[in-house]
């Protein structure tokens, strides 16, 4: 009898024949199938699963009945196509089936992953689900649209965390901390005040900016009855809403339905929805979904092979690599199309490369020309990406459709966010006027700005004024009220309140895109905490008693917003117009004034006089000609104010506006 091949040896030969052997010199050598569709392709007749993993030897597809627990009821070996694409097509209707991929690299099976293109996931995001996305659309979704915004500085952006707005025991919400709680109408707080959505509508903002609301690691969705809080800057699944804000994180379709209903309700009220996105790093590194597909590829490294960390969160993504760029562009496009979003705020945008950001803008504007795109024009550390290629604030002129935050105005107004004792224009610092002027004109080139005297930027960095995001506070660092308190311990409460109001009065009358932190209109405090990203609700929540206690402050903010919306002269669309129509007048220590002339940007007021007095005493301001008061101290006359001439006393720490018809 002839001796045959031993069974174990035959098995090893067969495995070696089916396993892919690859040996790339560097990530740049990896194939990049940029035109290949990597999203799940579902129909009732069949579903096609795809994953890009050029270094994999084998890839398995595992099917589950539940989002957590239990064994896979089926395993399939995926087939290798060209350019590192692995696929598997299954006949029949698999809607409602959970699945994972598993990659074999260098002879080792990695952890299971839902895949970076997962569109629906179960509890804690470990398993993806096949889903008919049309079944998640709320009634009227086909005709749903956000507000029209021809230029970004027509928007007044209100930055909030979904949980913060409704979690207080007196918020009046029946769904505190949830997507649907945020858009619940007719909620009442202490003494019958309006809260939640009705408060937002009453305030008059045009867009809500949601802190990261895609699926993140920090919250354990199986333990939502325990105290948990996080801002969400630790992304896990980029194309799925966070489950802890839904009514049932175990069912993948629920969070999608409720997120869409939230967007639809905001749109029904004429309010746009902007999503804070964190493509610059992942919440995990070694076992992130990116590394469980193509180990190492999606991240930047130094020449010695060490991971770079410009995010200060353990890693940074490599947006300049073709498949990472493809992912970012397709991901934001997916959110824009599937969820009807009206804008995107890029966390640490300076980590991304300029080419990627311009492609993002081009893609999004083709989907919806009203979409607003802005980001933080800085990094949190050094990066191997050359400075001239980074989407930094001072490179904004190379990104003509994108805006960046003006830390020049932010810290010019109230002092450095990194130094508690530092003060700014409103809190009594000297020699801050040029930073205020720079903020007023939207960081453009203006012949009356002395750039050498601007706090950070020594040159203009925008092409047009709307590319500058005008703000004085956000979720990071102290709230405005807390910063003023800690930097001016000698000031009484009344003075602190006047500084607070003047800060955002300057923001709302600057030519950039106006942005405010939720609760600033209520003197929001986080009890002096600098960084509340994982602190308790008692620190982060909006306490609705503040609205009852400070109605004068709320009404001041409400009137500021109404003023900006009514007068397009405060939001000119071109640098040419700002230079032509806006002229600075008296500028002295603690005082900045300017005029806007000739019905700028189609304004009903022919000439406008704006005076910011940060001094602790009233200023006797001389006038040329006759004017009509629009704003003085806490009074907003708008079009109905008294006539003034010769001179006017500008109250201490306040803004005055007058106009000529």
Helix (H, G, I), strand (E, B) or coil at 628: strand
Q: How far is C-alpha 559 from the chain's CA centre?
A: 25
Computed on alpha carbons and rounded to an integer, the radius of gyration of the chain in Å comes to 27
Rounded to an integer, what distance in angstroms lies between the CA atom of residue 344 and that of residue 370?
12
Is 198 catalytic? The answer is no
Helices (H), 509-648: 537-540, 545-549, 551-566, 575-581
Rounded to an integer, what distance in angstroms lies between the CA atom of residue 126 and that of residue 102?
12
Count of beta carbons in the 10 Å neighbourhood of residue 406: 31
Q: How distant, in Å, are the alpha carbons of 205, 371, 616 from that of 366?
A: 26, 9, 50
Helix (H, G, I), strand (E, B) or coil at 284: coil
Here the tokens at position 351 are: 């980590």
Closest CA to 612 of 569, 581, 656, 567: 656
Helix pair angle (407-414, 480-487), 10° resolution: 50
In this structure, what DSSP letter does residue 321 have? S
DSSP letters for 608-646: EEEEEE-SSS-EEEEEEEEEEEEEETTEE-GGGPPEEEE
Helix pair angle (322-338, 354-367), 10° resolution: 30
Here the tokens at position 71 are: 């064994």
Count of beta carbons in the 10 Å neighbourhood of residue 82: 8
Closest CA to 404 of 340, 455, 471: 471
Rounded to an integer, what distance in angstroms lies between the CA atom of residue 577 and that of residue 569?
10
Helix (H, G, I), strand (E, B) or coil at 102: strand
Closest CA to 297 of 79, 82, 126, 105: 105
In this structure, what DSSP letter does residue 36 have? S
Rounded to an integer, what distance in angstroms lies between the CA atom of residue 161 and that of residue 202?
19
Q: Which residues pair with 613 in a beta bridge?
A: 591, 654
Exposed e or buried b for every residue in 2-12, given b needs 16+ CB within 10 A? eeeeeeeeeee
Q: Are 246 and 240 in contact (CB under 8 A)?
A: no
Rounded to an integer, what distance in angstroms lies between the CA atom of residue 648 and that of residue 661?
18
Give the per-residue SS3 of 378-401.
Answer: CCCCCCCCCHHHECCHHHHHHCCC
Is 376 catalytic? The answer is yes
In this structure, what DSSP letter does residue 110 have? P
154, 309, 376, 433: which is the annotated catalytic residue?
376
215, 347, 407, 577: which is the annotated catalytic residue?
347
Rounded to an integer, what distance in angstroms lies between the CA atom of residue 580 and that of residue 66?
64
In 15-148, where do the E strands start and end? 41-42, 46-52, 58-64, 74-77, 79-80, 85-91, 98-105, 108-109, 128-129
Rounded to an integer, what distance in angstroms lies between the CA atom of residue 582 and that of residue 446?
9
Helices and strands (DSSP H and E) totals, the chain? 15, 26
Closest CA to 189 of 202, 206, 204, 180: 202
Residue positions annotated with a catalytic role: 347, 376
């Amino acid at each position: 009898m002839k001796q045959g091949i031993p069974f174990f040896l035959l098995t090893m030969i067969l495995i070696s024949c089916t396993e892919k052997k690859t040996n790339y010199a560097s990530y740049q050598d990896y194939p990049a199938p940029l035109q290949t569709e990597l999203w799940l392709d579902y129909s009732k007749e069949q579903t096609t699963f795809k994953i890009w993993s050029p270094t994999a030897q084998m890839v398995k597809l595992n099917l589950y009945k539940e989002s957590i627990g239990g064994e896979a009821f089926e395993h399939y070996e995926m087939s290798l196509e060209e350019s590192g694409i692995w696929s598997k097509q299954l006949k029949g209707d698999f809607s409602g089936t959970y699945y994972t991929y598993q990659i074999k690299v260098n002879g080792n099976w990695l952890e299971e992953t839902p895949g970076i293109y997962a569109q629906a996931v179960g509890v804690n995001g470990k398993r993806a689900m096949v889903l008919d996305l049309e079944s998640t659309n709320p009634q009227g979704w086909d005709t749903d649209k956000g507000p029209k915004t021809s230029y970004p500085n027509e928007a007044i952006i209100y930055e909030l965390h979904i949980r913060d707005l409704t979690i207080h025991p007196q918020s009046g919400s029946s769904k505190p901390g949830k997507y649907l709680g945020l858009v619940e109408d007719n909620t009442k707080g202490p003494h019958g005040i309006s809260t939640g959505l009705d408060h937002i509508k009453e305030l008059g903002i045009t867009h809500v900016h949601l802190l990261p609301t895609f699926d993140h690691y920090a919250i354990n969705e199986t333990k939502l009855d325990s105290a948990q809080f996080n801002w969400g800057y630790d992304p896990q699944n980029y194309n799925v809403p966070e489950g802890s804000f839904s009514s049932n994180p175990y069912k993948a379709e629920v969070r999608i339905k409720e997120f869409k209903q939230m967007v639809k309700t905001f749109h029904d009220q004429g309010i746009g929805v902007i999503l804070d996105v964190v493509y610059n790093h992942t919440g995990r590194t070694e076992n992130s979904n990116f590394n469980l597909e193509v180990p190492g590829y999606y991240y930047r490294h130094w020449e010695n092979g060490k991971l770079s960390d410009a995010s200060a969160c353990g890693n940074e993504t490599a947006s300049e690599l073709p498949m990472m760029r493809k992912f970012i562009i397709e991901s934001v496009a997916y959110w824009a199309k599937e969820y009807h979003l009206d804008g995107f705020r890029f966390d640490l945008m300076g980590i991304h490369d300029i080419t990627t950001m311009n492609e993002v803008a081009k893609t999004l504007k083709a989907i919806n020309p009203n979409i607003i795109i802005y980001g933080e024009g800085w990094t949190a550390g050094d990066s191997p990406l050359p400075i001239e290629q980074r989407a930094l604030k001072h490179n904004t002129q190379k990104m003509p459709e994108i805006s960046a935050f003006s830390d020049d105005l932010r810290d010019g107004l109230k002092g450095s966010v990194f130094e508690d004792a530092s003060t700014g224009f409103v809190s009594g610092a000297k020699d801050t006027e040029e930073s205020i002027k720079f903020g007023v004109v939207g960081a453009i080139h203006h012949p009356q700005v002395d750039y050498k005297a601007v706090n950070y930027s020594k040159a203009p960095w925008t092409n047009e004024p709307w590319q500058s995001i005008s703000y004085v506070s956000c979720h990071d660092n102290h709230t405005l009220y807390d910063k003023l308190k800690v930097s001016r311990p000698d000031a009484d409460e009344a003075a602190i309140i006047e500084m607070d109001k003047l800060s955002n009065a300057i923001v709302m009358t600057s030519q950039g895109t106006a942005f405010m932190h939720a609760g600033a209109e209520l003197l929001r405090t986080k009890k002096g905490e600098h960084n509340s990203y994982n602190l308790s609700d008692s620190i982060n929540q909006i306490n609705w008693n503040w609205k009852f206690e400070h109605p004068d402050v709320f009404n001041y903010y409400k009137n500021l917003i109404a003023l900006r919306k009514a007068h397009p002269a405060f939001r000119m669309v071109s640098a040419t117009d700002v230079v032509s129509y806006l002229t600075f007048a008296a500028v002295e220590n603690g005082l900045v004034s300017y005029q806007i002339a000739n019905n700028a940007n189609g304004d009903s007021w022919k000439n406008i006089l704006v005076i910011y007095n940060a001094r602790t005493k009233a200023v006797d301001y001389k006038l040329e000609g006759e004017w009509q008061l629009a704003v003085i101290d806490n009074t907003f006359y708008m079009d109905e104010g008294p006539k003034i001439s010769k001179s006017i006393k500008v109250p201490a720490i306040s803004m005055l506006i007058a106009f000529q018809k």
